Structure 1
Amino acid sequence: MTPSWRKPAGMFIIMALLTLWTVLAVSIVDALAGPAWIDAILYIIAGFAWLWVLPMKRLLRWMELGVWKK
């Protein structure tokens, strides 16, 4: 059995998306410049959005099975 190229490619895509998402979240929270507790809530919301809004499930499925859809 030969290793799939999708897993390393998917890993680099995930790292690039995570970096982009982090820079975007920090930029937005810094621009709002609220109290620390509001900043914490915004970071938590951004973290959940990373899991639910971005296509992480589809990307992980593609890495394992080679298909995007269910």
Structure 2
Amino acid sequence: MRTEPTWRIPVGVLGLCAGLIVYAVIIARYLPDLIGGWPALVQMVIYLILGLVWLLPLRRFLIWMETGRWG
């Protein structure tokens, strides 16, 4: 357990927020044009999957923020 703060945590939080904003803007800008005519249930599943897919790289990112290593 570390006892002193590191620069990686604030930089990581800012990077995470910026990445999520970019991801959300891309999804909100381009996806409705592609799936707007699909049935609502299918759209719900697609948006649910896309709402969770950003979590996939999060574990390694959080490990880097705490330890400085990517694994």
Shorter chain as denominator, the TM-score bin is 0.7 to 0.9
| Whole-Å separation in 2 of the counterparts to 1:36 and 1:29 | 14
Q: Report the RMSD for the aligned CA atoms in angstroms.
A: 1.6
Which of 1 and 2 has greater Rg? 2
- TM-score normalised by L of structure 1: 0.78
Show structure 1 runs of 5+ residues with no match: none
Q: 1:28 to 1:42 in 2, by over 3 A?
A: farther
Aligned residue pair count: 67
| Whole-Å separation in 2 of the counterparts to 1:7 and 1:13 | 10
Runs of 4+ residues deviating >4 angstroms: none
Show structure 2 runs of 5+ residues with no match: none
